[in-house]
Structure 1
Amino acid sequence: MNEAVTKAYATVEAELDRRRADLEALVFEMVAINSQIPPFGDERAICDFLSAELGRLGLPEAETHALVPERPNLLVRIPGTPGGKRLLLCGHIDTKPVGDARSVWRSEPLTATIIGDRVYGLGTSDMKASVGAMITAVAAIRACGIDLAGDVLLALVADEEAGATFGAKFLAPRIATDVDAALIGEPSGWTRDWEGIHLVSRGLCCFKVRVHGTQMHSSLSDRMPSVNANVEMARLILQLRDEFAAAPIAQPRDGLRPTANIAVTAGGGVFYGVVPGESAFGCDLRIVPGMSEGEVRAFLDDWAQRMNGAGPAQVSVEYDDVLSWIPSASLAADHPLAASAVAATRTVLGAEVPLSSFPGTTDAPWFERAGVPTLPSLGPGILTYAHGPNEFVSREAIHEAAKIYAHIVLSYCGVER
């Protein structure tokens, strides 16, 4: 890191220390805004709030980009010297629903609650803390009067949690020519904060297996031939789980293994007294680089054909309209953004953070598809606690994130002397 960047970072670090309380307050206010995916909420209220907050922090006016009005995305452009490297910081502002686990929460999900060094609340880790840290980092750089050698774009996107149709998938092609690289602030720990700089994120293939049996009066099941679709569904769930695990398609590629989550949803049957005639179970496969949609579908087609031949139930595979295939994504380890991330975490945390792979799916493939090299995950929080009750983020990790993002911006974009 050159002398100009070192000096600029010291100035920004001090400014971020002064903004600790403001950063936490920003995260708390975001948690209090319902931005659950439809039908439980949408991104309009949080975009309105953030637009006003960005102006209050002295950042340029946010642009609104929306495929439909109720699913807006915000884009803020902080110009540097023309010709410098241009970096996109990206965070999603939607959350998964609270769901059936509300009674298990130890606090109100839409209220940021401090317990020890943790802030509990829906979206704290995934990923409102990261969004707050990104905003605060660029605001601190601007407040310090530092002239960057390249542009910074801040993208606060909708719909990451439901497939990105209205978010990054829509936005990425529209801004791809304006940036040279992108960083996504997904939580980068699974047992502790800052467990890895994730250069790879797995993709996603979601589908439903429909099981066809015989609907009839249940009192006749000992006298007339019948196929209980629910019983056959239970058998087929275990069959698919075991066959996928043993198949060549499921073996590790470059050390990363795809996963099959069989029966993440399941249901069937009419009522007592009725042999179920139809049931279905939903599955999600986590895809790794090197896997193709064609080979996954070929495996499932072959499995369904064999199951139909063996009977007694008939099965069909139906792919989700939106989540049928989200590709994996990866950033080369020798990319300048990866180098900036390594340097930033070393400086801020005082330790080496290993290069790693993100277990889940991110918005990275949409930017990668548009031609933008993207780091899929570097952010505060622990993925294990996302999408479930008692999601939390460490207060210290929030502030570390702001410093890491500031350091990356300064080192990747460069500083005018």
Structure 2
Amino acid sequence: MNKQEKLAILKDMINIDSTNGNEEEVADYLLKQFAKYGILSEKVAYSEARTNLVSKIGGKNGKVLGFSGHMDVVDAGDRKAWKTPPFQATESDGKLFGRGSTDMKSGLAAMVIAMIELEQEGKLIDGQIKLLATIGEEIGEIGAAQLTTLGYADDLDGLIIGEPSVRQIIYAHKGSMNYTLVSYGKNAHSSTPELGINAIDNLMLFYKEVEQYVAGIHQTNDILGVFTHNVTVIEGGNQVNSIPARAQLQGNIRTIPEVDNEKTEQVFCTIVSKLNKQEGVHLEITWDYNKMPVFSDPKSNLVKIAESIAKEQFGKTIPIIGLAGTTDAAEFIKAKNQFPLIIFGPGNNTPHEVNEYVDIENYLEMIDVYKAIAIQFLK
């Protein structure tokens, strides 16, 4: 393909609004691109308008290298704050703007084009590449979980996830937990608060206890850094002159092996139980999302190959690091077969931001990087 054809595929993908859903339209588009070149694909349905896509090239013998990327994107936010329409891919100064341009339709498009070109060029003599294009990564990695449960990752010998890595190779990332805490109180007129129970006040009791616990954590991980906790959503009350009978907050936690998911859940539940012993306090905690930290081998053959090819492509040695965020890797590592994995894709630090963009040069160069890694890894 020429440059404009490669850009056209990415633009078409960005123009599809797959905000926390509607991934089937992206899957159908990619299926048609593969079909043009005689590459077969399989749609794996999750629910209405939500479909994973599995595509393969190569033979049945030899190793299997997985390519993976998610088709969903986060909400565009305040569209008036965008310089260009978020779902209308726009070129400017060597950049391509649009929601999902960095996170992570550029990585997915680069993988798709790499597969198509390898198939056309006949350079993939050994092994097989399997694309696992997923739904719902942004809201719980539900597509990766489904594909893993169904066994689609069991035959992998290596996996590359094309999330934006800013010209770095990532082999580990933190765990992630989301929770919802609901506080139940009793309505009363704000002029007689003693007749009610303020659900917001009791919510804040929990918040203060948790913040005190987090402030006392001094363990760090050499690769992943520190444990973090953030309350990101608070809701409560329905009228300014009424004592609220219900309030809730939601929080996100990024875990490290030193303060792992199991210990975190135990501590938070203990705090809730202790507070509920106080008169008038009724709190309930629900765990909405629980993903373990991911560690692969930084000295694996896949890492060494990717590092060597990246150095040749970029003209310098690139860092091999851990990541604070979580990815579909947290689900794929549950496959029956253990395999090395890396997170390595085009993009920058604008995921989820207004005016998200990808550098066009970075997108195009990663197509060649993926091709070279696949050929060498599968030999």
TM-score normalised per structure 2? 0.93
> Are 1:283 and 2:273 counterparts?
no
Question: How far 1:229 sits from its partner (Å)?
Answer: 2.5
Equivalent position SS for 1:97: coil
- Partner amino acid, structure 2, of 1:170: Q
Mapped partners of 1:125, 1:392: distance in 2: 6
Equivalent residue number for residue 395 of structure 1:
360
Equivalent residue number for residue 158 of structure 1:
135
- Partner amino acid, structure 1, of 2:355: N
8 A contact 1:230–1:268 mirrored in 2: yes
1:391–1:413 CA distance, 2 compared to 1 (3 A): same
Mapped partners of 2:132, 2:366: distance in 1: 17
Stretch of structure 1 that moved more, 155-164 or 307-316: 307-316
Mapped partners of 2:5, 2:321: distance in 1: 32
Mapped partners of 1:255, 1:176: distance in 2: 26
Equivalent residue number for residue 106 of structure 1:
83
Mapped partners of 2:87, 2:329: distance in 1: 27
Equivalent residue number for residue 322 of structure 2:
357
**1:1-80 equivalences in 2 (<5 Å):** 19-38=2-21, 42-56=22-36, 58-80=37-59
Mapped partners of 1:406, 1:245: distance in 2: 46
1:210–1:347 CA distance, 2 compared to 1 (3 A): same
**1:404-415 equivalences in 2 (<5 Å):** 404-414=369-379
Mapped partners of 1:378, 1:393: distance in 2: 14
8 A contact 1:43–1:93 mirrored in 2: yes
Equivalent residue number for residue 228 of structure 1:
198
- Partner amino acid, structure 2, of 1:60: I
Question: How far 1:290 sits from its partner (Å)?
Answer: 5.5
Question: How far 1:73 sits from its partner (Å)?
Answer: 1.2
Mapped partners of 2:60, 2:31: distance in 1: 25
Question: How far 1:311 sits from its partner (Å)?
Answer: 6.6
Question: How far 1:260 sits from its partner (Å)?
Answer: 3.2
Equivalent residue number for residue 4 of structure 1:
none
Deviations 1:345-393 (A, max 9, x none): 11111111111012211011222110342424211112x3212311111
Deviations 1:57-104 (A, max 9, x none): x1512111223352211111112371x2210111111111224x2222
Mapped partners of 1:244, 1:326: distance in 2: 19
CA RMSD of aligned residues (A): 2.1
Equivalent residue number for residue 274 of structure 1:
242
Q: Runs of 5+ in structure 2 lacking a partner?
A: none
More helix per residue? 1
Equivalent position SS for 1:279: strand
Mapped partners of 1:363, 1:64: distance in 2: 18
TM-score normalised per structure 1? 0.85
User: How many residues end up aligned between the 2 structures?
Assistant: 377
Question: Which of 115, 118, 124 is the equivalent residue of 1:138?
Answer: 115
> Are 1:205 and 2:177 counterparts?
yes
**1:341-352 equivalences in 2 (<5 Å):** 341-352=306-317
More strand per residue? 2
Deviations 1:163-215 (A, max 9, x none): 132x1111124223332111101111xxxx31x21100222111112223332
Percent identical pairs in the alignment equals 25
Question: How far 1:113 sits from its partner (Å)?
Answer: 1.2
1:255–1:92 CA distance, 2 compared to 1 (3 A): closer
Equivalent residue number for residue 368 of structure 1:
333
- Partner amino acid, structure 2, of 1:348: Q
Question: How far 1:252 sits from its partner (Å)?
Answer: 1.2
Q: Runs of 5+ in structure 1 lacking a partner?
A: 1-17
> Are 1:253 and 2:225 counterparts?
no
Question: How far 1:234 sits from its partner (Å)?
Answer: 4.2
Question: How far 1:237 sits from its partner (Å)?
Answer: 2.8
Equivalent residue number for residue 5 of structure 1:
none
> Are 1:119 and 2:84 counterparts?
no
1:118–1:238 CA distance, 2 compared to 1 (3 A): farther
Mapped partners of 1:289, 1:338: distance in 2: 22
Mapped partners of 1:216, 1:113: distance in 2: 54
1:238–1:187 CA distance, 2 compared to 1 (3 A): farther
Question: How far 1:233 sits from its partner (Å)?
Answer: 3.1
Mapped partners of 2:25, 2:14: distance in 1: 12
Equivalent residue number for residue 8 of structure 1:
none
8 A contact 1:367–1:374 mirrored in 2: no
Question: How far 1:310 sits from its partner (Å)?
Answer: 5.8
Equivalent residue number for residue 299 of structure 1:
267
- Partner amino acid, structure 2, of 1:244: V
Equivalent position SS for 2:17: coil
Equivalent position SS for 1:175: coil
